[in-house]
Structure 1
Amino acid sequence: MASFLRQDQPAAPPAWFVSLAVIGALYVAPFLFRLVTHLSLCLRRPKDLRRRYGAWAVVTGPTSGIGRSFALELASQGMNLVLVDLNAANLREISDTIRSRHGVQTKTVVFDLSSVATPQGDKAMARLKEAIEGLEVGVLVNNAGVAKPGAMYLHEADADAWVRMIKVNLWAVTEVTAAVLPGMVERGRGAVVNMGSASSEAIPSFPLYTIYAATKRYVAQFSRSLYVEYRSKGIDVQCQAPFFVATGMVSRLSETSRLTLLLVAPTPDAYARAAVRWMGHGPPLCAPNLCHQLLWCLAAAVPDPVHDWLRLRANLHHRELFHTRSSTPS
């Protein structure tokens, strides 16, 4: 009788099946975690940024793309804005648009961020400090960045072009943040959002855009360390590292290599809505768009050598197409 009962018991699954199930669960878990986190944030009541951080926000590079959408989204939530960009006419246009749509106050500072660490840059930095003096600056968005030159080998561009990229993407972020932080520390509250890139965080290499990716890696480490330094002082620091967003640069890529068939790129407005909602939530390094979070998980499942091969192949294709386009008479 005992032998009969033992025969009726279901057989234990084989070890290989259990191993595959565990591996599959480990791969699925990050997707589910990011999905649940994103959905919980969407259901959570949005922060009153003005009450939580202060009445004013500083946004660099607010005249186009993500920066413009970020500025408009902050203004829609009642934030007054200090707008920093190198083109005075474009600054007037976005300033007028913000005031007419949302009725908030604006200030503009003409500042070529590639001039940092020069006499001209020192004067511009002095103008920025003067503009924010006495203001309750609660939010800083370091959005301004340079992606050109790109799709080329390091030796193919003039050193001055790389230096300009480094100054805007790295040096200016540091100096502007250092200028705004003292007021936040004094008031015991604030938020700093630095615009990074998935090209330096989600994938192991970004060949032919090497300096760009390297500067964005600095932004990520800069943000992580500031997060640890200043969270006890009531200041939230975050590096947002998106994949592609449908800005002018990405539209140019999609026309040539049809990246839109492979990646879903949100509009700048859609990205800005998610980005503002994520301010003060989650880890110091994040991708506010849900599609970007899932792409991040997919990227983590791909071996580094495969990433390297795919990116080099794709970016060499970009190089060929851009070179053909630039050499074609208009």
Structure 2
Amino acid sequence: MTFSRSPMEFQDFILIAACSLGFISLCKTCIRFLKWVWVSFFRPAKNLNEYGSWALVTGSTDGIGKALAFELASKGINLVLVGRSPSKLEATSNEIREMFAGKVDVKGIVIDLAKFSGEKISNMVEDGIKGLDVGILINNAGMGSPYPMFLHEVESEVLESLVRVNMDAATWVTRAVLPGMLQKKKGAIVNIGSGSSMAVPAFPLGTIYASTKAYMAMFSRCLSLEYEKRGIDVQCQVPLFVATKLIRRLNDTASLFTPTAEMYSKASIRCIGYEHICTPYWLHSVQWFLIQRLPDALLNWYLFELLNKSRKRRMEK
């Protein structure tokens, strides 16, 4: 016995199937949007003190690193600040002690991440944190080119420093801190990445910077898989433009989509311990969503023109 459908029945079936798929797609979109709203505005931050009583922050005397240090101190977490300038480290430490008098301890470690070898950096960090319950590590130290430029225009010393600060230093500092976290089976590692390596298809005239930040994203993904079952949360935070010295080289200042370091740090702290890759500041995630809807060719053309104009202005000075 055989059954057959009339053309009208078949059309009805196709219409019902299409409506069902459309409804499912709409539901998925709504769920993703509600999740984003929850994560961006309502999800409670983790109790960072449960990781440990101390946090180590590299690049802690300027920009995002300094803002993060103050934000951590406001949570009652003691700080190990890593920087290359003794005077800046002392000034930042004194500011924090004065603002949070009697509430937190602050210790400084002077390391020029661009000049010391990886093993030397690791040994200095190990000595500096000996006996301290370091539960949070924030690899924030980063370096960019003096201004946008073609690869052949980057001086060899600058190129080497970019690789050392943005990749090598973070790797060796992490290696120095991990044993203590493993011993107590808990900890949080935050690596500050960049939208230049993930939000756009390419970042012309900033090749080395973007490439080293791409390393930080993969470094974080791999570490999170290696250590998540051992109580250590590893995360790469991917900001877009933040009003720091690095961004001001592009003549960009604080605006709706370019928050101050203090604004970004508040969002950053709320994300620690959650997603392996995240964009903490909510308007950055909106901007990222919009960017990814544009054709790659258009983005590549726009970024090249924007950065090349900045390069020409700097070369004319």
Structures share a fold, TM > 0.5? yes
Q: Which residue of 1 aligns with 2:182?
A: 185
Q: Which residue of 1 aligns with 2:6?
A: none
Pair 1:317-2:312 in alignment: no
Of 293, 299, 307, the residue aligned with 2:285 is 293
For residue 191 of structure 1, give the secondary structure of its aligned residue in structure 2: strand
Q: CA, structure 1 residues 96+182, in 2 after alignment: closer, same or farther (shift >3 Å)?
A: same
Q: Give, in whole Å, the separation in 2 of the partners of 1:254 and 1:159.
A: 25
**Contact 1:149–1:162 under 8 Å retained in 2:** no
1:19-34 alignment runs, 5 A limit: 29=29, 33=32
Q: CA deviation at 1:313?
A: 1.0
| Amino acid in structure 1 at the alignment position of 2:68 | F
Pair 1:271-2:273 in alignment: no
Q: Give, in whole Å, the separation in 1 of the partners of 2:195 and 2:108.
A: 30
Q: CA deviation at 1:40?
A: 4.3
For residue 107 of structure 2, give the secondary structure of its aligned residue in structure 1: strand
Of 84, 87, 90, the residue aligned with 1:86 is 84
Q: CA deviation at 1:78?
A: 0.6
Q: CA deviation at 1:252?
A: 4.1
**Contact 1:34–1:294 under 8 Å retained in 2:** no
Q: CA deviation at 1:34?
A: 5.3
For residue 109 of structure 1, give the secondary structure of its aligned residue in structure 2: strand
Q: Which residue of 2 aligns with 1:144?
A: 141
Deviates more, 1:145-154 or 1:69-78: 145-154
**Contact 2:122–2:175 under 8 Å retained in 1:** no
Q: Give, in whole Å, the separation in 1 of the partners of 2:215 and 2:39.
A: 30
**Contact 1:38–1:290 under 8 Å retained in 2:** no
Pair 1:307-2:296 in alignment: no
Q: Which residue of 2 aligns with 1:60?
A: 58
Of 241, 244, 251, the residue aligned with 2:241 is 244
Q: Give, in whole Å, the separation in 2 of the partners of 1:167 and 1:139.
A: 22
For residue 251 of structure 2, give the secondary structure of its aligned residue in structure 1: helix
| Amino acid in structure 2 at the alignment position of 1:270 | M
Q: Which residue of 1 aligns with 2:47?
A: 48
Q: Give, in whole Å, the separation in 2 of the partners of 1:259 and 1:107.
A: 30
Of 158, 162, 173, the residue aligned with 1:165 is 162
| Amino acid in structure 1 at the alignment position of 2:171 | T
Of 72, 89, 93, the residue aligned with 2:70 is 72
| Amino acid in structure 2 at the alignment position of 1:141 | I
Q: Give, in whole Å, the separation in 2 of the partners of 1:41 and 1:259.
A: 20
1:5-61 Cα shifts (integer Å, max 9, x gaps):
xxxxxx98x99xx79x96xx68x939x7256334345323332211x2000000001
For residue 114 of structure 2, give the secondary structure of its aligned residue in structure 1: helix
Q: CA deviation at 1:254?
A: 3.3
**Contact 2:185–2:231 under 8 Å retained in 1:** yes
RMSD: 2.5
Q: Which residue of 2 aligns with 1:6?
A: none
Q: Give, in whole Å, the separation in 2 of the partners of 1:40 and 1:128.
A: 34
Q: Give, in whole Å, the separation in 1 of the partners of 2:33 and 2:64.
A: 23
| Amino acid in structure 1 at the alignment position of 2:32 | F
**Contact 2:40–2:280 under 8 Å retained in 1:** no
1:257-301 Cα shifts (integer Å, max 9, x gaps):
x895xx61111111000001000112x111001111111111221
**Contact 1:147–1:165 under 8 Å retained in 2:** yes
Pair 1:106-2:106 in alignment: yes
For residue 175 of structure 2, give the secondary structure of its aligned residue in structure 1: helix
Structure 1 stretches of 4+ with a deviation exceeding 6 A read none
Deviates more, 1:292-301 or 1:210-219: 292-301
Q: TM-score, normalised by structure 2?
A: 0.87
**Contact 2:147–2:314 under 8 Å retained in 1:** no
Q: TM-score, normalised by structure 1?
A: 0.84
Q: CA deviation at 1:306?
A: 1.6
Q: Identity over aligned residues, as a percent?
A: 40
Q: CA, structure 1 residues 259+156, in 2 after alignment: closer, same or farther (shift >3 Å)?
A: farther
**Structure 1 unaligned runs (5+)?**
1-10
What is the number of equivalent residue pairs in this alignment?
299
For residue 223 of structure 1, give the secondary structure of its aligned residue in structure 2: helix
For residue 100 of structure 1, give the secondary structure of its aligned residue in structure 2: helix
Point out the structure with the larger helix share.
Answer: 1
Q: CA, structure 1 residues 159+264, in 2 after alignment: closer, same or farther (shift >3 Å)?
A: same
Q: CA deviation at 1:248?
A: 2.3
Pair 1:207-2:204 in alignment: yes
Q: Give, in whole Å, the separation in 1 of the partners of 2:274 and 2:60.
A: 23
Q: Give, in whole Å, the separation in 1 of the partners of 2:237 and 2:287.
A: 15
For residue 147 of structure 1, give the secondary structure of its aligned residue in structure 2: coil
